[in-house]
Structure 1
Amino acid sequence: MTDLGYQPEQAAVRGLLLAVGEELGRPVPPEWKAAVTAVPRHHFLPDRVWLEDDDGALRACDSHIDPERWFQAAYENAPVVTQVNGGNDPDDEDDLWPSSSASSPTMVVRMLEDLDLRPGLDVLEIGTGTGWNAALLAHRLGPEYVASVEIDPAVARQARASLNAAALNVEVICGDGALGWSPGLPYDRIISTCAVRRVPKAWIEQTKPGGIIVTPWDSPMLGWCLLKLTIERGQTHGRFSPHSSFMLMRNQRTNLRIFRDVVRDGQRPGRSTTRLSPWLVGGNHWEARFALGLTLDDVWTTWEHEPDVPGVTTRLWVATTDAGSWAAVDHDGEQDDRFTVWQFGERRLWDEVEAAYAWWEANNRPGPARFGLTITEGGQQVWLDDPAEKNPFRHLKGALDVAELD
């Protein structure tokens, strides 16, 4: 990493801790304040990062070319993209997508707090990334109590070098995080810095009874929450909490496009109308989208603006991840209380969406904190308010067993 020792590092760290505390609504706990102070974030960023410009597009920022902007990004209370396009040079500068990043410091502290750490506990981290999170863990517990798995060889090498330079010689393993790391088991805690749609069985098997797993959660509809699980003999259970967004674990990702994978020539969709606004389903109503993601499990959405369809200004596409069923909801640019719906496939997908949304409203619009997850040998199951409520979605028409997540 570039040596920017001349920069006002201490002031930057103090400013970052104040920003994190403000977002948390309380001061950063002393043990994590000490770790953030002792392990400067900029020592773990690569010399080249990618930052959003005024139009929201990613643009490279190099510490050798623009050290002030690079250093400023290191101490903003925000995520920083540290790799694009899987580490490959893009053919087009405008065709960039983030493939690795440094998480928001507030989110880092939140997740570390959720681990409920104390000296002597062994921790496995899934997704080393820059190594900063592992460094904070190592400062708190000692490097010998921390192991970290990273799937990308280049990212793993960079993180290992940064950790060694900080004299925090955490064991960094290049491998598939979904498999955990069996040579070090059992662990008291597992923390994942990538989101999952299924909690890998290996994580549960490698965690001691009474141990804790903290991971971001994702559904095809929305990745937005954290999940904190407690391991018990025979079952694992925990609750969700809101406001997080992480990249999905690589082996759980799907790469679907409506006109490449879903909609095909010769399909004859049925036509109907709806009063449910597509913006309530595909817009910024995060709590509704989170609940729909849990309820429908395999459904995703995407917008098409100004489609080449007479009388249609905006269209919301809804499809299943197996590309077998889809729906399109059209807005004519004028009416906001009635929309045309097209549906194709074995499932009447928009009917399922309407039923799920009505269920969410009938249950007083529950937020993420009211939902939980139980994992047994039989699979994973979502519940609302009470773990004894094994299938809160059982009354939904056209959504049989939608709470079964495995």
Structure 2
Amino acid sequence: MSELSDLQSRLTNTMETQDLWPADSPWVRRAAENAPRHTFATDRVWDWDGDTYAPVDQARDSARWASLVYGGVYDSTITQVTEGLPTSSLSCEAVVADMLDSLVLEPGHTTLELGTATGRNAALLATRAGPGRVTSVEVDPQLAAAARTNLSLAMADVEVVVGAGELGVPGAGPFDRVMATYAVEVVPWAWVEQTRPGGRLVTPWGRLGHVALTVAPDGCSATGWMQGLATFMPARGTDQGKIWEQVRGDEAPDAEGAFGRTLEPLHRDANVLFALRVILPDIRIRTEADQGVTAWVHDGNSSWATIIAPQTGQAVAYQGGPRRLVTELEEAWQAWETHGAPGLYEFGMTRTPEEQYIWSNDPDTGPKWSTDAPALKTAEQHGATQ
């Protein structure tokens, strides 16, 4: 046990060294220290071996198990794999702290959590909100049962409800705070309805970042700013589309040409990647730097592109499928620059009963992008003022 305590201390100190404990929410660090990751971890965790997720059992390999539970500040711990894909985890410490800070949680706040998983985040919420103030929803009955056990051992007074997260808790609320631990493309309207006017809702969006929304006084909309970058698991049962290899297939490219931009910003600058995710919501981009930069782009369906940019010389793009993704990428990149190249924290979201859109700089006058558009789609195309 001393080894686990040492690993916990190392993670805590690394968070401090990297200035990742939120200064405005000092309670987060205290809560995390009092709810160690290993006390909520499953006996079996999972590690990617290059081809698949392989199980690592505490009883058989305690050292490796411990290293996965206490990885780096940005390393999550996979606690469940279903049909070859991760479906539950202990989120990485840095993102846990950042999202809790974004929630602006105060003692006494009634709080709804969507996605109980192991129960650790619910325990952290309860430390701040107080006994009997946190309700957590988990779709998987086995996970819910295990979380109840974990929470009981941690003496955290949390109600765990088995149900579909997108529904919240029908008939309950309104809650002062609502927090999701999994990614959604569109914020379920039930979450907004179950948050009191003036209340705050924090959720991952699109598996790439998280947003904090404040519900309007009339309860008819929720608006707020992006809070940070991270990759999140999607809601259980989400169709994640095809992976790169399936989209690429074995066919030769049907188009080849020069790519007029350097790929370095796409690889190094998260602001560029996030902006392209906003403007091209269905496009997935992965980059790698090795003697230059390579980008793999696809739509999860039938169109793909590979862009190879050597350290010197012209970048070349190869693509296939019905869409010309390279052109879409170049146009989206240009659109972002035309609107002043806003950074991550200059983007925000608005959700109404009818629609959801991302905006930059100002929710009323800034450019807007629909979150379900298959290609470039700004508010100007809807007849709104830019």
Q: Tell me the TM-score normalized by structure 2.
A: 0.82
1:40, CA displacement in angstroms?
2.8
Per-residue CA deviation, residues 282-340 of structure 1 (Å, 9 max, x unaligned), is x4542211101101122224689xxxxxxxxx98554435x36x353454979742424
Q: Distance in 2 between matches of 1:73 and 1:270?
A: 43
Alpha-carbon distance, 1:143 to partner: 3.6
Q: Please tell me whether residue 81 in structure 1 is matched to residue 77 in structure 2.
A: yes
Taking the aligned partners of 1:264 and 1:403, their CA distance within structure 2 comes to 40
**Is it true that 1:229 corresponds to 2:213 in the alignment?**
yes
1:276 lines up with 2:253 in the alignment: no
The equivalent of 1:239 in structure 2 is 225
Measured after TM superposition, the shift of residue 388 of structure 1 is 1.7
| Alignment partner, residue 176 of structure 2 | 188
C-alpha distance in 2 between matches for 1:105 and 1:403: 40
Q: Please point out which of 141, 155, 165 is paired with 1:177.
A: 165
Q: 1: distance between equivalents of 2:160 and 2:28?
A: 22
Tell me how far 1:237 sits from its aligned partner: 0.6
Q: Where does structure 2 lack aligned partners over 5 or more consecutive residues?
A: none
Question: Shift in Å at residue 44 of structure 1?
Answer: 0.7
SS in 2 for 1:184: coil
- Pair 1:297-2:273 in alignment: no
Q: 1:37 aligns with which of 12, 33, 49?
A: 33
- Residue in structure 2 matched with residue 70 of structure 1 by the alignment: 65
The aligned length equals 372
TM-score of the superposed pair, with normalisation by structure 1: 0.78
Q: 1:75 offset after TM fit, Å?
A: 4.1
Residue 250 of structure 1 aligns to a residue whose secondary structure is coil
Corresponding residue for 1:92? none
Which deviates more from structure 2 when the two are superposed, residues 37-46 or residues 256-265?
A: 256-265
Whole-Å Cα distance in 2 between the matches of residues 13 and 401 of structure 1?
46
Shift of the alpha carbon at 1:69?
A: 4.1
Deviations 1:200-255 (Å, cap 9, x if unpaired)? Answer: 1111111100011111122xxxx332211111123211111233221122244423
Is 2:315 the partner of 1:320?
no
Once the two structures are superposed, residues 352-402 of structure 1 have per-residue CA deviations (whole angstroms, 9 ceiling, x without a partner) of 2111112233445322101111122331121111112353569xxx72448
Aligned to 1:93: none
Partner of 1:358, secondary structure, is helix
User: For residue 311 of structure 1, what is the aligned residue in structure 2?
Assistant: none
* Worse-matched range after superposition: 127-136 or 245-254: 245-254
3-state SS, counterpart of residue 213 of structure 2? strand
1:310 aligned partner? none
Q: After alignment, is 142-151 or 198-207 more displaced?
A: 142-151
Q: 1:216 aligns with which of 176, 183, 204?
A: 204
Kept in 1: contact 2:221–2:353 (CA 8 A): yes
Aligned twin of 2:97: 109
- 2:14 alignment partner in structure 1: 19
Which of 282, 286, 292 pairs up with 2:270? 286
Measured on the aligned residues, the alpha-carbon RMSD in Å equals 3.6
1:90-144 CA-partner distances (Å, limit 9, x unpaired): xxxxxx5432210112221221121111222111111111111111112222341
2:314 is aligned, of 317, 337, 349, to 337
CA deviations on 1:52-98 (whole Å, 9 max, x unpaired) are: 67x79754332222334434544443544343431x6xxxxxxx543
Q: Alignment partner of 1:144: what SS?
A: coil
> Contact 2:20 / 2:94 at 8 angstroms: preserved in 1?
no
Question: Which residue of 2 is the match for residue 307 of structure 1?
Answer: none
Deviations 1:160-187 (A, max 9, x none): 1111222324211222211111243211
Q: Matched residue of 2:190: which SS?
A: helix
Equivalent pair of 2:209/2:231 in contact (CA under 8 Å):
yes
**Quick check: 1:60 aligned with 2:39?**
no
Of residues 177-186 and 196-205 in structure 1, the stretch that sits farther from structure 2 once superposed is 177-186
Is the deviation greater in 123-132 or in 294-303? 294-303
Q: Relative to 1, partners in 2 of residues 1:162 and 1:45: Cα closer, same or farther, differing over 3 Å?
A: same
Q: Do the aligned partners of residues 348 and 182 (structure 1) sit closer, same or farther apart at CA in structure 2, a change above 3 Å counting?
A: same
Q: Which moved more, 1:160-169 or 1:143-152?
A: 160-169
- Looking at structure 2, the residues matched to 79 and 205 of structure 1 have their Cα atoms a distance apart, in angstroms, of 33
Q: Is the Cα–Cα contact under 8 Å of residues 381 and 404 in structure 1 kept in the other structure? A: no
State the SS of the aligned residue for 1:24.
coil
State the identity %. Answer: 31
Would you say 1:352 and 2:338 are equivalent positions? no
Structure with bigger gyration radius: 1
Q: Which residue of structure 1 aligns with residue 139 of structure 2? A: 151
Q: Which amino acid is the alignment partner of residue 351 of structure 2?
A: I
Q: Distance in 2 between matches of 1:24 and 1:99?
A: 30
Structure 1 counterpart of 2:360: 384
User: 2:127 is matched with which residue?
Assistant: 139
Quick one: structure 1 residues 244 and 260, their matched pair in 2 at CA, closer, same or farther if it must change by over 3 Å?
closer
